[in-house]
């Protein structure tokens, strides 16, 4: 037995069935209003069909009732396949709310079948959320904000309080310049998880962005420092402006310079700001790691 989300137990035997032209409307169109229904068009003489069927049945059953599989023998029931323009088998068409929404052809390996179904219903099984989050982080690193957001949304559809996905989606919003959108995402974080390092990091990044928003061009601060190397406020403002432009190494170096010259300035404000940089950028960021080394060298020399 498996359990439908928010519903009654669904027998494994009900997740996979055969259909005909006569029963197609009830088995597929009507049933797909409740959850996606995959239609596997096959024929007894088709070798790849025999390879695919045990794979797709396994993945459908592992989905726990979130998707169903209906098999149609096109030799006995050619009409539906003809209407859908299917010219090669095996062919799998996914129906949702009575409409075909996606599909594939050929005997795909299990990993690809699983990926196809996950696009419809979200993560399958233990570790799926972590895998999708890893894919989202990679998409972010490649500049694919839309792809990352879609992956995070897939995780959150199944796990609304997943902290890593919430933090990641908020970061996508922030990186796109939508501070309010980022705050809106973080509003969904449960109170018990608001102190999670991933959430704290995004909050620090939001605060840093807001602090830097009012700063103008760096030339003004650079000119002041050229006139007076001990103008710590100008150097501090320059560091903030550089951080806003993602010139992280230069921003760190200017704050380190303030600490070298006057550790007590603004009640140790340069060091405190440096730590906020590290929190906003994340502990594994290359600049955070290098910056902590520089800070340690100054503090413990």
pLDDT of amino acid 279? 85
> Exposed, middle or buried, 221 (CB in 10 Å: 0-12/13-18/19+)?
buried
Phi, psi of 46 (to 5 degrees): -90, 110
pLDDT of amino acid 126? 57
Q: Could you read off the pLDDT of 229-256 as tens digits, one per residue?
A: 999 999 999 999 898 888 999 999 999 9
pLDDT of amino acid 125? 61
Residue 100 CA to residue 96 CA, distance in Å, equals 6
Check if 59 is active-site.
no
Please list, in sequence order, all residues whose beta carbon lies within 8 angstroms of the beta carbon of residue 167, skipping any fewer than 6 positions away.
Answer: 186, 196, 198, 199, 201, 202
49, 169, 186, 295: the active-site residue: 49
Check if 30 is active-site.
no
- Residue 99, CA distances (Å) to 24, 25, 41, 59, 103 in order: 13, 11, 16, 22, 12
15, 28, 39, 46: the active-site residue: 46
β 16-18/68-73 pair status: parallel
Structure tokens at 187: 């509003």
Structure tokens at 72: 């149609």
CATH label, 2-121, candidates 3.40.30.10, 3.30.420.40, 3.40.190.80, 1.10.3720.10:
3.40.30.10
Phi, psi of 162 (to 5 degrees): -70, 110
Side-chain half-sphere CA neighbours of 23 within 13 A: 10
Query: Is the CB of residue 74 less than 8 Å from the CB of residue 89?
Result: yes
Q: What's the residue count for the chain? A: 301
pLDDT of amino acid 52? 95
**8-state DSSP, 4:** -
Partners of 16 in beta bridges: 69
Residue 235 CA to residue 259 CA, distance in Å, equals 11
Measured between its terminal Cα atoms, the distance across the chain in Å is 65
Which residues of the chain form CATH 1.25.40.10?
128-193, 215-299
Please list, in sequence order, all residues whose beta carbon lies within 8 angstroms of the beta carbon of residue 106, skipping any fewer than 6 positions away.
Answer: 48, 52, 88, 90
pLDDT of amino acid 5? 35
Q: Could you read off the pLDDT of 192-213 as tens digits, one per residue?
A: 888 898 898 999 999 888 887 7
| Radius of gyration (C-alpha) of the chain in whole angstroms | 28
**Could you list the mean pLDDT of each consecutive 10-residue stretch along the chain, which spans 301 residues?**
34 79 94 92 95 92 86 94 90 91 89 86 69 86 87 82 92 92 92 88 89 80 95 94 88 95 94 90 87 91 72
Residue 55: other Cβ atoms inside 10 A: 17
CATH number of 215-299: 1.25.40.10
Q: Write out the CATH class of domain 128-193.
A: mainly alpha
- Sign of the dihedral defined by the CA atoms of residues 17, 112, 95, 135, in that order: positive
pLDDT of amino acid 209? 86
Side-chain half-sphere CA neighbours of 108 within 13 A: 17
pLDDT of amino acid 118? 84
Does residue 167 have a cis bond before it (omega within 30 degrees)? no
């Amino acid at each position: 037995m498996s359990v439908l989300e928010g519903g009654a137990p669904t027998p494994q035997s009900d997740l996979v069935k055969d259909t005909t032209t006569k029963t197609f409307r009830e088995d597929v169109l009507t049933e797909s209003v409740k959850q996606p229904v995959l239609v596997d068009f096959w024929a007894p003489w088709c070798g790849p069909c025999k390879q695919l069927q045990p794979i797709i049945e396994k993945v459908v059953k592992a989905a726990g009732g979130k998707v169903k599989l209906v098999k149609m023998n096109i030799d006995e029931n050619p009409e539906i396949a003809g209407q859908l323009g299917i010219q090669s088998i095996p062919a799998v068409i996914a129906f949702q709310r009575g409409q075909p929404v996606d599909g594939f052809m050929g005997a795909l390996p299990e990993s690809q079948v699983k990926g196809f179904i996950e696009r419809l219903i979200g993560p399958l099984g233990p570790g799926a959320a972590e895998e999708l989050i890893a894919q989202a982080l990679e998409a972010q690193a490649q500049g694919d904000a839309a792809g990352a957001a879609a992956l995070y949304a897939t995780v959150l559809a199944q796990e609304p309080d997943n902290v890593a996905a919430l933090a990641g989606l908020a970061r996508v919003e922030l990186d796109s310049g939508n501070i309010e959108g980022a705050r809106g995402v973080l509003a969904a974080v449960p109170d018990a998880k608001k102190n999670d390092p991933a959430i704290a990091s995004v909050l620090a990044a939001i605060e840093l962005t807001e602090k830097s928003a009012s700063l103008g061009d760096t030339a003004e601060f650079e000119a002041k420092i050229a006139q007076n190397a001990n103008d710590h406020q100008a150097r501090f403002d320059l560091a903030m402006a550089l951080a806003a432009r993602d010139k992280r190494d230069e921003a760190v170096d200017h704050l380190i310079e303030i600490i070298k010259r006057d550790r007590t300035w603004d009640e140790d404000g340069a060091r405190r700001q440096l730590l906020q940089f590290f929190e906003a950028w994340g502990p594994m960021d290359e600049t955070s790691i290098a910056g902590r080394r520089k800070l340690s060298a100054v503090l413990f020399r």
